[in-house]
Amino acid sequence: METGLAPPDTDSLEISLFGPGYGECIVIHLGLNDWIVVDSCIEPISREPVALAYFKTIGVNAFRIRLVVATHWDDDHISGISDVLRQATKAQFVCSSAMTSGEFRAVLSQWKPKSIIPGGSGIDEFDRVTDILADRAVDTKYPTPRLAHAQSMLWERQEPIPAEVRALSPSDAADMSAIAELAGIRKSDRRQRRRLPYIDGNHTSVVMSIRAGTASALLGADLEIRADRSLGWYAVTDHATNKADHEAYKIAHHGSANADNSEIWDQLLVNNPLTALTPFCRAGVLLPTCDDSDRILGRSTRSYLTAPATKKRYRTRDYVVQKTIDEITLQTCAIPNGFGHIRLRKKVNGSNWEVSCIGSALPLERFVRQHCRRQKAKK
Ligand SMILES: [Zn+2]
Ligand SMILES: [Zn+2]
């Protein structure tokens, strides 16, 4: 974590996007020392959740956190989220209803005893969050997170600076289809419980619209495009009651093509918005690709990436081994040292955004210049 960072002014909206190469966390100041934390990942040096490390650096007490949101239950978005919630003693925990369904719990409990997830976290984080909620809700038998649905208001402040956090997804249909899918996994895995079921959390991820004064931002989570218009991004664009005026956009699903569509840009965002994204670099998958980056820059010249992750080929002096490796194109991810942090700030009634690239963060255009031209020349 970069030291010497100053906290935002009380009349500023601040959106800090953190991404080390694998993992994503957003910390938002809504003005007047009201904060929310969206998703969580681990700061590589201190090994603590990046949101808590950031609050320590800028001198903010965690009881000022109003919401802790888990947009969906993928490992790259929830690592350390229970630690954030534990410190955020006044916060509400928000997730989608599919994540709290009986089916989800049933699937989790089936593979829990043989948990072999690298990093361990998914299920453990879920259990810890549930325990914290139960400890805090002493007067009910049903300690529940706040469930996010399309158009539900998650947090609101009227005065003296109006601010709101509104969920734009998941749609009711997305919740239903996720629960049906979980039921299917539960049945099919009965005989082979050792296999880890694949739960696609992206489809029920929570997209949010943030407003403070006249400043606004759209947080795309990992929501993807689905052919069925009652699911995914089409359900958001078809039912958007907000004007197409979000000035800043946390790009959905690490910039992948399957999470992008012109309707998002045309119906939910201003022309040439400010955009920020984190890479996804794991198991041979690298996002954003050079094509993704070009496509995004075609929509927004003011785009920023938290870390310039690149694919790296294994190299060895042994000719035979190298030949085999090249044949199976074994690749790994090169993630630069340091931690990427994109900080966007705007006075709640001001006109200009101030962008800071901290650590390994950089303009997307520079990433393309440094890492994609060579790739293109090779083709
Ligand atoms: Zn995801
Ligand atoms: Zn992700």
AA identity, residue 373: R
CA 24 / ligand 2 centre spacing (Å): 7
Which numbered ligand comes closest to the C-alpha of 73? Answer: 1
Strand, helix or coil for residue 130: helix
CA distance 27 to 65: 10
| CA–centroid distance, residue 163 to ligand 1 (Å) | 27
Residue 218 Cα to ligand 1 midpoint, Å, equals 17
Residues in the chain: 379
Distance 323 CA to ligand 1 centre (A): 34
Which ligand does the CA of 201 lie closest to?
A: 1
- 78 CA from centroid of ligand 1 (Å): 10
Distance of CA 201 from the midpoint of ligand 1 (Å): 6
CATH number for the domain running over 12-378: 3.60.15.10
pLDDT at res. 193: 47
| Bridge partner residues of 16 (DSSP) | 27, 343
Instruction: For residue 271, report the distance from its CA to the centre of ligand 2, in Å.
Output: 25
Tokens of 299: 């929509």
Q: For 85, list phi and psi in degrees, rounded to 5.
A: -65, -40
Residue 148: which residues within 8 A CB-CB, separation 6 or more? 69, 94, 95, 96, 97, 154, 167, 169, 170, 206, 208
Ligand having the closest approach to the CA of 205: 1
Classify 150 as helix, strand or coil. Answer: coil
Task: Output the CA 185–ligand 1 centroid distance in Å.
Answer: 18
Task: Flag whether the pTM goes above 0.85.
Answer: yes
Question: How close is the Cα of 283 to the center of ligand 2, in Å?
Answer: 13
Give the C-alpha separation, 349 to 329, whole Å.
52
Centroid of ligand 1 to alpha carbon of 258 (angstroms) = 12
Nearest of 235, 86, 214, 68 to residue 151 by alpha carbon: 235
Please give the distance, rounded to the nearest whole angstrom, from the Cα atom of residue 141 to the centre of ligand 1.
31
**CA 219 to ligand 1 center in whole angstroms:** 14
Tell me if the bond preceding 273 is cis, omega within 30° of 0. no
Render pLDDT for 195-236 as a digit per residue (tens, 0 to 9): 555 667 788 999 999 999 999 999 999 999 999 999 999 999
Measured in Å, residue 313 CA sits from the centre of ligand 1 at 25
Q: In this structure, which ligand is nearest to the CA of 282?
A: 2
Domain residue ranges of the chain, discontinuous segments joined by +: 12-378
What stretches in the chain show pLDDT beneath 70? 108-123, 186, 188-199, 242-243, 312-316, 322-332, 334, 336-338, 374-379
* H or E element, residue 210: strand 208-212
Dihedral of CA atoms 235, 238, 241, 247 in degrees, nearest 10, equals: 80
* Centre of ligand 2 from the C-alpha of residue 174, in Å: 18
Q: Which two tokens stand for residue 234?
A: 């089409």
- Ligand at shortest distance from the CA of 76: 2
Measured from the alpha carbon of residue 202, the closest ligand is: 1
Task: For residue 121, report the distance from its CA to the centre of ligand 1, in Å.
Answer: 14
DSSP conformation letters of 270-318: EEEEEEEE--EEETTEEES-HHHHHHHHHH-SEEEES---EEEE---S-
* Nearest ligand to the CA atom of 278: 2
- Report pLDDT for 119: 44
Instruction: Specify the pLDDT at position 330.
Output: 52
- Residue type at 241? T
Query: Per-residue pLDDT tens for 268-291?
Result: 999 999 999 999 988 778 899 999
Question: Phi, psi at residue 41, to the nearest 5°?
Answer: -145, 170
Q: Exposed (0-12), middle (13-18) or buried (19+): which is 67, by Cβ within 10 Å? A: buried
β-pairing, 302-305 with 362-363?
antiparallel
